[in-house]
Amino acid sequence: MTFFRKNPSREGIVGVQFNVDGIALAQVLPPAPELSDHSADESQAPVPEVRHCEWLPESDAARQPALLEDRVDALGLKRKPCNLVLSPEEYNLLLVEAPSVPASELRDALRWRIRDLIDFPVDEAVLDAFLLPEDRARGGKRMAYVAVTRRALIRSRVEQIEEMRMELRAIDIPEMARRNLMMHLCDTSRGAALVKLSAGAGTLHIVRGDDLHLARRFQLPYGAGLLDDLPSDVLVLEIQRSLDYFERQMRQPPPGHIYLVGENVTEDKLTDTLTQGLPMGVSLLELSSGLALSEKVQDHTLPLCLDALGAALRSSETGAR
């Protein structure tokens, strides 16, 4: 899913996300083609390189573009290909019944289907959609996820990136950016779930193969501080609710593993309640397992830049869409 897209490039991709409290910036370079072609040992195969990964704190939205432009200039990222990922506050993701129309007519048909589900005029909306896999249709009715945002916001973001002299390739949403990450870092053949935690909230995504099957947001009493414990009982309940919906309503087998990631989510916070309270394995998402991190990248910035990293992984060379 993407609101805007051009062909990918082999010179690496810059991922950018504007958030309410700061900007996430990441640059990912694909493996060198000559190394990939001659790697006999798959376990030692070259992986994408995270050249830059930075969190730029700034809660004033009016100052964010200038801050990012200064950093882009300092890092030599002008004229580099860029994928922008929207923040959760900038769009709505709706799960609706897909109309029975040709693929070329799907967007127009969905535009009228979601007009009463958004709080602004539908003629001011930009939307994109993807159908859920056939085998998870409910009662013979195929479903679709529809991402909807305001046209004025997309226009503003495009202008901001162009003013920084970066080459905008795609505008995406976090759900698909995280899918890109999961394809690199997790075994999605049997299905995998990614749970991302931040202050007061969490998200859960289930990916099987290269398809996103479920995306859900929920509230969570977690302060995201260094000394804040994970609310294990509440978290297990929310994960179980998601799995129950996935199995009973979507008629899908459960994922093979659950990965956790987020602000100050560390190994010592994984309690027995959390690891033993679910019917599948639970572990931290190891971002370094499928990515080569440059010496400049600091580990604590990775969870803050998760979506920017996923956006930067959107390219045909790295296997993401």
Residue whose C-alpha is closest to residue 209's, from 157, 256, 276, 140 = 256
Mean pLDDT of the chain: 89
Q: Are strands 281-284 and 201-208 parallel, antiparallel or unpaired?
A: unpaired
Residues 157 and 57 occupy one common structural domain: yes
Residue 85's Cβ-side half-sphere holds a number of Cα atoms within 13 Å equal to: 31
Residues 163 and 224 occupy one common structural domain: no
Count of CB atoms situated within 10 Å of the CB of 294: 12
Domain count, the chain: 3
Whichever domain contains 32, its CATH number is 3.30.420.40
User: What one-character-per-residue DSSP string does 45-56 give?
Assistant: ----EEEEEEEE
Residues 295 and 279 occupy one common structural domain: no
Residues 191 and 174 occupy one common structural domain: no
Residues 123 and 219 occupy one common structural domain: no
pLDDT greater than 70 at residue 140: no
pLDDT at 6: 54
Start-end of H helices in the chain: 33-37, 64-74, 106-113, 151-163, 174-185, 232-244, 272-276, 306-312
Average pLDDT over residues 289-316: 89
Residues 228 and 157 occupy one common structural domain: no
Q: Are strands 143-150 and 92-97 parallel, antiparallel or unpaired?
A: antiparallel
Quick: pLDDT tens for 236-263. 999 999 999 998 888 889 999 999 999 9
pLDDT at 319: 41
> 130 forms bridges with which residues in the sheet?
145
CB contact set of 4 (below 8 Å; sequence gap of 6+): 154, 158, 168, 170, 171
Average pLDDT over residues 76-85: 95
Exposure class string for 204-238: b at 16+ Cβ within 10 A, else e: bbbbbeebbbbbbebebebebeeeeebbbeebbeb
Choice between 153 and 38, residue whose per-residue pLDDT is larger: 153
Residues 11 and 62 occupy one common structural domain: yes
Residues 160 and 145 occupy one common structural domain: no
Instruction: Give this prediction's pTM.
Output: 0.88
Long-range interactions of 131-134: CB distance < 8 A, separation 24+:
131/98, 131/106, 132/98, 132/211, 132/213, 133/211, 133/213
Provide the residue range defining the domain that includes 56. 4-89+152-178+291-318
Residues 226 and 279 occupy one common structural domain: yes
Residues 277 and 302 occupy one common structural domain: no
Query: pLDDT confidence of 289, banded at 50, 70, 90?
Result: confident
* 143, 132 Cβ separation under 8 angstroms: yes
In this structure, is the dihedral angle defined by the CA atoms of residues 240, 242, 243 and 244, taken in order, positive or negative?
positive
Whichever domain contains 118, its CATH number is 3.30.1490
CB contact set of 80 (below 8 Å; sequence gap of 6+): 11, 12, 13, 14, 27, 166, 167
Quick: pLDDT tens for 153-203. 999 999 999 999 999 999 999 999 999 999 989 999 999 999 999 999 999
Q: What percent of the chain has pLDDT over 70?
A: 88
Residue whose C-alpha is closest to residue 114's, from 94, 86, 136, 143 = 94
Residues 70 and 12 occupy one common structural domain: yes
Residues 26 and 138 occupy one common structural domain: no
